[in-house]
Structure 1
């Protein structure tokens, strides 16, 4: 597949090489598919549902519209292809069902479409060799006897291109409206007469061509000839303008829009046409077009100081086109000129939000101007403060919030004043003036619970200060401890106060008090069933007291309940390792056994567990565990680790675990260490001979001799085994 830009070049390549396949041709707006077989054009399909047969029937004037409707109705009724519907439609004469007839009208339609396509600009082509998709083409139509040579199409397209230039000189637009000059025409051409009869001084050229069921080129050629022959003419701008006063036109919204658009395209444009089009587009839901026209209407009214009209127009513009910033500026100016200061402030806020994306400084200037003209807008002050914050100008943001708080107090809105103080404290938690004002305000309103919250904010400020102090200046810990105790007194379940209390003790190096505070917090969190916070507090406690076995186990258990399995396992590994390193084998064993209860295939845990059992002289259990470690490591392809584990089994139970020799031998063989493999195979064979397993001895010795043919020990053992095997029938 390849992409080319010139369609004739592509068609010529395909024809000369007699290729078959589908050629896709597209522009930014249109797309068609051409099917070629052996270099000849056989069919054409549209990308957006149109059918070549449907277009052919529409443009064939000998099939009346009623018959055409019955064919399409039959297709919907049968839920089948259009060709099948045509063949099964009783109202269609047999001659119109003939294959030759269908091939002829489809061929003509394909040619007409190709003439159009060859005039497309900025095309791209993609040829899919030997591809014929049933999703794109109707195979019944593809099989019609149609073979079109591309050279003939190119020649006709070139001829038409020259004619189109002449036609467009006579008819600039298909939206133009023709009118008759003569009452009749002396012309034997039926198509010319049909077009002439449709000219009524109201329909535009597009509408006429659709009604006479001719191709675009045919219709336009006839129409231009009628104009050249002075049988019809195109209406003047003045005549078209007169049409807008006709009731039949004014009551037809789409027709009226078409006429007004035609007038504007010819330079006939005024406040009336703009206003009418704006309302018509608005009514039809064509918001983008309506916005353009309302903007033009608003500009004319604005320039003439007709601010009330301009306000209505610009409100429409910003509603339909919210990103038109210039319209906002004009709308605000109109409100100021009309002394509608509150509305100006309201729109200024909307405008400021939009321009703040790119220019926060300009947005603040807009709001500042609005506040000077209408100082009672709390929302504008809020927005201005937030923009200062986004710019990183905290000082100005705080100043604006103080102005807002004073305005709210003046307006007897204490709740909003408190909100402003809270926002100041959000910017600067250490602003003690705001803290005092907030506290006083809460007391005046009788909101003692919120006063507790204020103490929490104060505690947060002190806590932040404590964190930022140098090691030689620790004046804030005692203050924070007192604040936390006050909060806990009135709100015993305050987790945050207890956290600050713990941090204060840690800062003062009073670790025992910190641990005590943490454990109280943990007990409280257990009751509240707040697992996330409980996990965080347990981690903090463990950092202070890593020997707290029970709480470390609790941490793992909670993580497992929260389905954080990997973290739970990691905690148990750390716990077991910690106490193993401290030689507290019983706690280490308990930790690893807890781990294995949730992750029985954890190789590391099993290995550690086996080592602990061995050190505790629980040899039987250790053997069992090392054996599991060996088989688990083997299954994971960790041959060396498996060898080490099986070796431990042999070490702890040398007389009973002879099968482990066989396992080790096999693992060494997998590693390519054949000398070691032979040694273990030989040891296994000797032990098997001792246990009277002569067949196994013979088999293993054979394997040894395959790995090391000159191994005398293996040969001797094999002979002994075979001798024993020969005696067995006699003994029986």
Structure 2
């Protein structure tokens, strides 16, 4: 897109609108300069609205939302001391003149120096705008709008020609790629590892000295650059050159941690700010996280302290450092006793290590925390583990039943209590059984079995019935014991008679004297098989068989 001829050549004043996607800003600036236009160029983009005023085609003024006044920038950059600026403002007010004039009149800085400062700032801002490139534009011919621009800058009558401006912008665009290769993030903190070479000019040496003095690890790149608001690009380029020459190195987590701890002794707020920036670059540094937890606790930022400790606990668990993780968890419990995350980790570790007392303690606390927001099902899972670990605890069983019921599973809750109550009754723990069945009635007031059981316990009828059943069981057991004894005696007597008969037969037939050992073995083997559970077979018959088999073996060896 090119500008209309009637706009470039014509009078009266005209306005022009368009989009920088069809006419780039560089071409627009060149056209305005060639036509010697005076007026306001407004550019609206995603980054906001910028206004530029042109005098005879040259850029004279710039403003955007939030842009600091020129006098404030002089103080922020250290060019003018705050005290000198205050005096200059008072003199300017009394003499009805500009603050810049008052500064020059008192010799705080020269008129050329003031204009150079403002020109450098304008150049930085214009180059940045050209680099952004996109957006809609509108140019309106005319004079300077009232109150649109800084009056101190208006008084300096700045004028940037488009040719040098565009050349500088192109140079910077190429340089930015190299700068970002060497200084990849504005959040980085640098420290000087060896002295840089001396620059060729005094002006460059002064800038280098000022920049190096700020590179002590306590400031990010963004903070260092912010100290030179009128020379942003120069400082970025200087930092890139120093990094490329290995004069600088990125501050390590240990460097940052040491600096933060040193500063925290005098200024905890500043230490906290530096620490936060250090964690942007090294978010998982154990030392920085531990220091964050300590400083945060000291300055009352308990949530921040807990956040840092949680990350540390996670790291320790990931690395298998259980003891360190437990130390962090105990600290977290002190910071926020109601944090379910902390008790969950503690409970899981106790389960893993089979520490029963800790499992019960942490599990009970976790159940309390789950019940508050109505997480009954999660509470039930924990209580099931606790009951399994301590099945005799009626408090845990009742708590489990209550949480089941509150979670909507009333039938399972009642069944759990009935099972536990019946065991208490069998053990004749009537007081505890009564409480359990009363709890069943709290959950299910119409439960007939629970009503009857509670009534029987109260009246003593249940105890009498149980005692009667015990007596009946004892009598039945005695009766069957007598029968079993009689049967056993008969069995044993039969075995003994068979043994005596076999012994007589062996003697009568003289099998031992005749060395007919196999016949004797057969006689005793029959008794062993027929009466294998009798004491006669287990002892007497076994002994006879061992002796006869030994004699048979000797006989067979003699024959061979």
| TM-score under structure 2 length normalisation | 0.52
Task: State the partner residue of 2:329.
Answer: 311
Indicate if the aligned counterparts of 1:181 and 1:233 stay in contact, CA closer than 8 A.
Answer: yes
Bigger radius of gyration, 1 or 2? Answer: 2
**Structure 2: how far apart are the matches of 1:178 and 1:128?**
46
Shift of 1:98: 11
Pick the aligned partner of 1:280 from 258, 273, 295.
Answer: 295
> Which of 1 and 2 has higher RCO (CA within 8 Å, sep 6+)?
2
Q: How does 1:615-626 map to 2 (within 5 A)?
A: none
Task: State the partner residue of 2:362.
Answer: 343
**Aligned: 1:395 with 2:414:** no
**Aligned: 1:159 with 2:159:** no
**Aligned: 1:202 with 2:221:** no
Shift of 1:298: 0.9
Indicate if the aligned counterparts of 1:277 and 1:290 stay in contact, CA closer than 8 A.
Answer: yes
**Aligned: 1:111 with 2:123:** yes
Task: State the partner residue of 2:237.
Answer: 221
Indicate if the aligned counterparts of 2:363 and 2:386 stay in contact, CA closer than 8 A.
Answer: yes
Distance of aligned partners of 1:112 and 1:298 in 2 relative to their CA distance in 1, 3 Å threshold? same
Shift of 1:361: 5.5
**Structure 2: how far apart are the matches of 1:412 and 1:4?**
86
Name the SS for the 2:125 alignment partner. helix
Indicate if the aligned counterparts of 1:335 and 1:344 stay in contact, CA closer than 8 A.
Answer: no
Name the SS for the 2:313 alignment partner. helix
**Aligned: 1:296 with 2:311:** yes
**Structure 2: how far apart are the matches of 1:380 and 1:291?**
31
Task: State the partner residue of 1:192.
Answer: 205
**Aligned: 1:93 with 2:93:** no
Q: How does 1:322-471 map to 2 (within 5 A)?
A: 329-336=344-351, 337=353, 339-340=357-358, 341-350=360-369, 356=375, 364-370=380-386, 372-373=388-389, 376=395, 382-388=402-408, 393=409, 395-396=411-412, 424=444, 431=446
**Structure 1: how far apart are the matches of 2:106 and 2:193?**
39
Pick the aligned partner of 1:23 from 23, 38, 43.
Answer: 43
**Which structure 1 residue ranges, 5 or more long, are not aligned?**
79-83, 426-430, 441-732
User: What is the aligned length?
Assistant: 407
**Structure 1: how far apart are the matches of 2:432 and 2:153?**
81
Shift of 1:161: 2.9
Indicate if the aligned counterparts of 2:404 and 2:412 stay in contact, CA closer than 8 A.
Answer: no
Shift of 1:297: 1.6
Indicate if the aligned counterparts of 1:21 and 1:36 stay in contact, CA closer than 8 A.
Answer: yes
Q: What do residues 236-262 of structure 1 show as CA deviations (whole Å, max 9, x unaligned)?
A: 749837955984576554665677678
**Structure 2: how far apart are the matches of 1:150 and 1:287?**
55
**Structure 2: how far apart are the matches of 1:65 and 1:12?**
41
Indicate if the aligned counterparts of 1:34 and 1:41 stay in contact, CA closer than 8 A.
Answer: no
Distance of aligned partners of 1:186 and 1:266 in 2 relative to their CA distance in 1, 3 Å threshold? same
Name the SS for the 1:177 alignment partner. strand
**Structure 1: how far apart are the matches of 2:299 and 2:440?**
46
Shift of 1:281: 4.4
Name the SS for the 2:189 alignment partner. coil
RMSD of the TM alignment (CA)? 6.0
Indicate if the aligned counterparts of 1:21 and 1:37 stay in contact, CA closer than 8 A.
Answer: yes
Shift of 1:44: 4.4
Name the SS for the 1:51 alignment partner. coil
Shift of 1:56: 3.9
**Structure 1: how far apart are the matches of 2:295 and 2:127?**
36
Task: State the partner residue of 2:555.
Answer: none
Name the SS for the 2:407 alignment partner. helix
Indicate if the aligned counterparts of 1:111 and 1:153 stay in contact, CA closer than 8 A.
Answer: yes
**Structure 2: how far apart are the matches of 1:281 and 1:348?**
29
Shift of 1:34: 0.7
Task: State the partner residue of 2:83.
Answer: 66
**Which structure 2 residue ranges, 5 or more long, are not aligned?**
1-15, 425-429, 456-560
Indicate if the aligned counterparts of 1:385 and 1:401 stay in contact, CA closer than 8 A.
Answer: no
Distance of aligned partners of 1:74 and 1:402 in 2 relative to their CA distance in 1, 3 Å threshold? farther
Distance of aligned partners of 1:129 and 1:278 in 2 relative to their CA distance in 1, 3 Å threshold? farther
**Structure 1: how far apart are the matches of 2:64 and 2:440?**
64
**Structure 2: how far apart are the matches of 1:149 and 1:100?**
18
Q: What do residues 131-188 of structure 1 show as CA deviations (whole Å, max 9, x unaligned)?
A: 9999995574796645667776555334223223323444455533332634983632
Distance of aligned partners of 1:279 and 1:143 in 2 relative to their CA distance in 1, 3 Å threshold? same
Pick the aligned partner of 1:33 from 38, 45, 49.
Answer: 49
Task: State the partner residue of 1:462.
Answer: none
Distance of aligned partners of 1:185 and 1:310 in 2 relative to their CA distance in 1, 3 Å threshold? same
Shift of 1:292: 4.8
Shift of 1:346: 1.6
Distance of aligned partners of 1:229 and 1:2 in 2 relative to their CA distance in 1, 3 Å threshold? same
**Structure 2: how far apart are the matches of 1:313 and 1:176?**
30
| TM-score under structure 1 length normalisation | 0.41
**Structure 1: how far apart are the matches of 2:19 and 2:365?**
56
Distance of aligned partners of 1:233 and 1:435 in 2 relative to their CA distance in 1, 3 Å threshold? closer
Indicate if the aligned counterparts of 1:180 and 1:199 stay in contact, CA closer than 8 A.
Answer: no
Task: State the partner residue of 1:722.
Answer: none
Indicate if the aligned counterparts of 2:344 and 2:366 stay in contact, CA closer than 8 A.
Answer: no
Distance of aligned partners of 1:50 and 1:260 in 2 relative to their CA distance in 1, 3 Å threshold? same
Distance of aligned partners of 1:266 and 1:2 in 2 relative to their CA distance in 1, 3 Å threshold? same
Shift of 1:35: 1.3
Indicate if the aligned counterparts of 2:120 and 2:231 stay in contact, CA closer than 8 A.
Answer: no
